Amino acid sequence: MSALHHETSEITAIILKAAERARRETSNEPEAAFVNRAVNWPVACEVGPGLEGAIACESKVGYVNGTKGWLVYRGYDIFDLCAYSTFEEVSYLLIHGTLPTAAQLRDFNRRLVGYRHLPWTLSRMMSFPVKEFNAMAGLRLGVSMMRQRLTYRDSESARPEPATAIGTDEDSIPMEVRPYGEEHAKYEFGPGKAERPEDARKTQDAAFGLEACCHLISGLATITAAVARLREEKLPLEPDPELSHAANFLYMMTGRRPTPLEERIMDVALILHADHGMNASTFACMVVASTLSDIYWAVGSGISALNGPLHGGANEMVVRTLQEIGSPKRVNAWFNRARARKQRVMGFGHRVYKAYDPRARVLGPLAEYLARTSKPAGRLYGVARALEDKVIAELGHSRKIFPNVDFFSGIVYTALGIDPGMFTPCFAVSRVSGWTARTMEYLENNRIFRPRAMYTGDMNLRYVPVRKRSGKE
């Protein structure tokens, strides 16, 4: 066990208690239909709207049992990984398929530490109005910059000739400036060749490989921290190579070296969010990579999908809801109003889990633990507990709607001093391990994703010229 785990044995005890409760409340049989079965394609399955129930591929990366509330990464139970492992080790496990030896872990850490340092990317990001962006847009921008840095450019042939270049200068809006067939563009970049950065890779292949995965896992934390600071009008910080991934992430974001307790809780949060089956953002990554767009484009799409309030954006909305409710006494009235308006309660319900989400089983007690010492978290936690009781009483056993991972994560992040606008980016910092692991796995036997839609529109309509259209057809 690492020194950090010794120093934070209280946290280990909380996780083991949550694990014990989960095991007591769920039986231990996997679902025969979804594990250890060689799939004979084409496979017959019942598909609901939103691809519910569809089997899109085989995977050894992770398993979610929604009926029982299990989460497994590469065969290891999530509770054990939270109790005994670290985010670095879990990322290695997801990508490589086995837990690393001490030497492999050292080497992996060395790469992550190296890739934390992204001065070129950050300096370019700072020339954009990141403060005005949605934070996830800042992440997308950063990933595009990271890609450009690694591959430098798509190919020499994609570079426009100077005479046809779309020109710009300090004062002009970038635009095509030869609309009337002039011989030369008004504003042109000179024919001088931009320098390839010394450490840029020579080929696009680099953007598909394991190295790119390490680059993204490490780099997304640096970019997220930089976005957090730019939003507060502060300069990004240099990474500290002595710190763990979780501690360095917190440090670069908040400017304060975290205590071992804060570091451990962040580490557990990162482990819990690292992978989760074929969720919307993972699927988005895989769809994009299946076209042989590279892993940076894929992760950019994962970030976009995660941004939505039905997915990763829910934890920010949970905190806003808890703030709006304001006090445990007001929970009943708020809930009844929300139900009357058919409003969903953020942080509850899940496409796969029809039982208590195992991640919420860990984050709930951690939020409770932090609420004892953090006033803002304490206020939120009191309301959250009352809301949880109410929703479970009304919708839990009858509708199988229980808290999901997002219900408590915002309270945990609040106690760690993270701004609500940065909650979803924190999710991405973790989920990038699952995105890259599953994308790389899929690419081994790639087939472009291409489902069909049931056409329910008209047929055989007669084309009516615009002047004869009344608008009533």
Provide the annotated active-site residues. Answer: 311, 350, 406
Residue 64 CB, nearest approach to ligand ACO (Å): 11
8 Å CB contact between 411 and 426: no
8 Å CB contact between 432 and 216: yes
8 Å CB contact between 190 and 388: no
* Closer residue to ligand ACO, CB minimum distance, 235 or 333: 333
Residue 73 CB, nearest approach to ligand ACO (Å): 16
Largest interatomic CA distance in the chain: 80
8 Å CB contact between 272 and 363: yes
Residue 67 CB, nearest approach to ligand ACO (Å): 14
Strands of 351-469 (E only): list them.
none
* Closer residue to ligand ACO, CB minimum distance, 87 or 283: 283
Binding stretches for ligand ACO (CB under 6 A): 50, 310-312, 314, 344-351, 399, 401, 404-406
User: How far apart, in whole angstroms, are the C-alpha atoms of residue 177 and residue 154?
Assistant: 24
Residue 273 CB, nearest approach to ligand ACO (Å): 8
User: How far apart, in whole angstroms, are the C-alpha atoms of residue 242 and residue 247?
Assistant: 9
* Closer residue to ligand ACO, CB minimum distance, 151 or 404: 404
DSSP state of 329: G
Residue 47 CB, nearest approach to ligand ACO (Å): 13
Joined together, the tokens standing for residue 314 give 């829910």
* Closer residue to ligand ACO, CB minimum distance, 149 or 359: 359
User: How far apart, in whole angstroms, are the C-alpha atoms of residue 115 and residue 217?
Assistant: 9
Joined together, the tokens standing for residue 293 give 């767009």
User: How far apart, in whole angstroms, are the C-alpha atoms of residue 263 and residue 255?
Assistant: 14
* Closer residue to ligand ACO, CB minimum distance, 239 or 396: 396
8 Å CB contact between 203 and 191: no
* Closer residue to ligand ACO, CB minimum distance, 8 or 409: 409
Residue 462 makes CB contacts below 8 A (sequence gap 6+) with: none
8 Å CB contact between 34 and 5: no
8 Å CB contact between 84 and 90: no
* Closer residue to ligand ACO, CB minimum distance, 86 or 282: 282
Q: Cβ of 4: how many Cβ atoms within 10 Å?
A: 17
Buried b (16+ CB within 10 A) or exposed e, 103-131: eeeeebbebbbebbebeebbebbeeeebe
Residue 344 CB, nearest approach to ligand ACO (Å): 4
Amino acid at 222: T
Query: In this chain, which residue has its C-beta nearest to ligand ACO?
Result: 349
Residue 404 CB, nearest approach to ligand ACO (Å): 4
